[in-house]
């Protein structure tokens, strides 16, 4: 079983929501593993086996009660300045990508989906995180982590929208509209992230989005100022983990967020039914 969280934009909070959901399943005793096919990130984590993966998947692994592993982030792209990007496949450096020399997409997607299959066979649920926005019109046809994963592995998806910047309804609707017809039905629901204030004020808007898209509103996650480095360099989370034990600090953060989400009535049961 698996589920994919896709976001309306880079900093929509996919990483955190994915970690939170991993945590939720872990608390219930489900054997769960995180997965993000492609990660564009400066922050990486080196696993015990010496594999380099995105920082976010390390957090998500901890939230799942696991040790981070290379399969959790099979394609890692690390910008190294001057337009060069280092490619790391399943934790091992595999050369640079530049303006002129683009990524070997068939190879990368094969590597990515094989890693996904391995996780699927080992765990009860694989909680996947998408990458950026799935509907960048100039990049969509080369997508691996969002549309690609949905298309190739028929993974059901949940769309995460960030309300902090405003325009969340437009972002949800626009993303849904621009998705290709063959994968759009896989997007079953949406979450509104980083909300402050009285959630009932959103009711009218939420209902309209449900009506016109058929996606189900699975909950509104309250804003919490969480202190952990986000996946994307763009995230506006305002701090880094301090202290030696990053894992411990992170865990208490993610537990607090999960509790807040539960309290705010995020419908985890409905999400579980989507796997």
Binding site for another protein (CB under 8 A): 7-12, 132-133, 135-139, 164-175, 177-178, 197-198, 201-206, 208-209, 234, 236-238
Task: Kindly state the smallest distance separating residue 226's Cβ from another protein, in Å.
Answer: 12
Task: Kindly state the smallest distance separating residue 68's Cβ from another protein, in Å.
Answer: 25
Closer CB to another protein, 106 or 204, in the complex: 204
Contact 53, 70 (CB under 8 A): yes
Q: Which strands, in side-by-side order, build the sheet including 125-129?
A: 32-35, 125-129, 2-7, 157-162, 187-195, 216-222
Task: Kindly state the smallest distance separating residue 150's Cβ from another protein, in Å.
Answer: 16
Task: Kindly state the smallest distance separating residue 229's Cβ from another protein, in Å.
Answer: 13
Closer CB to another protein, 155 or 171, in the complex: 171
Closer CB to another protein, 70 or 148, in the complex: 148
Alpha carbons within 13 angstroms on the beta-carbon side of residue 43 total: 16
Strands 44-46 and 52-54: antiparallel
Closer CB to another protein, 48 or 225, in the complex: 225
Q: How many CB atoms lie within 10 A of CB 15?
A: 30
Closer CB to another protein, 93 or 197, in the complex: 197
Task: Kindly state the smallest distance separating residue 2's Cβ from another protein, in Å.
Answer: 23
Task: Kindly state the smallest distance separating residue 98's Cβ from another protein, in Å.
Answer: 13
Task: Kindly state the smallest distance separating residue 141's Cβ from another protein, in Å.
Answer: 10
Strands 216-222 and 187-195: parallel
Closer CB to another protein, 91 or 148, in the complex: 148
Closer CB to another protein, 3 or 85, in the complex: 85
């Amino acid at each position: 079983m698996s589920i994919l969280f896709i976001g309306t934009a880079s900093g929509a909070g996919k990483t955190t929501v994915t970690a939170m959901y991993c945590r939720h399943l872990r608390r219930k005793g489900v054997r769960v593993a995180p997965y993000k096919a492609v990660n564009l990130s400066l922050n990486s984590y080196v696993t015990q086996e010496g594999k380099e993966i995105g920082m976010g998947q390390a957090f998500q692994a901890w939230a799942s009660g696991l040790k981070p592993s290379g399969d959790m982030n099979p394609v890692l792209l690390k910008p190294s300045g001057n337009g060069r990007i280092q490619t790391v496949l399943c934790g091992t450096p595999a050369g640079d990508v530049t303006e002129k020399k683009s990524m070997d997409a068939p190879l990368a997607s094969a590597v990515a989906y094989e890693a996904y299959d391995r996780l699927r066979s080992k765990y009860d649920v694989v909680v996947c995180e998408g990458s950026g926005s799935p509907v960048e019109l100039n990049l969509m046809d080369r997508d691996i982590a969002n549309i690609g994963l949905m298309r190739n592995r028929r993974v059901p998806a949940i769309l995460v929208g960030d309300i902090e910047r405003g325009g969340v309804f437009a972002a949800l609707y626009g993303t849904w509209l621009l998705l290709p017809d063959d994968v759009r039905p896989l997007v079953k629901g949406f979450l509104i992230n980083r909300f402050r204030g009285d959630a009932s004020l959103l009711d009218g808007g939420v209902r309209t989005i449900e009506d016109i898209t058929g996606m189900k509103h699975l909950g509104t996650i309250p804003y919490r100022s969480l202190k952990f480095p986000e996946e994307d360099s763009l995230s506006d989370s305002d701090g880094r983990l301090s202290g030696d034990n990053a894992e411990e600090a992170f865990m208490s953060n993610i537990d607090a967020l999960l509790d807040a989400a539960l309290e705010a009535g995020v419908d985890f049961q409905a999400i579980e039914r989507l796997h």
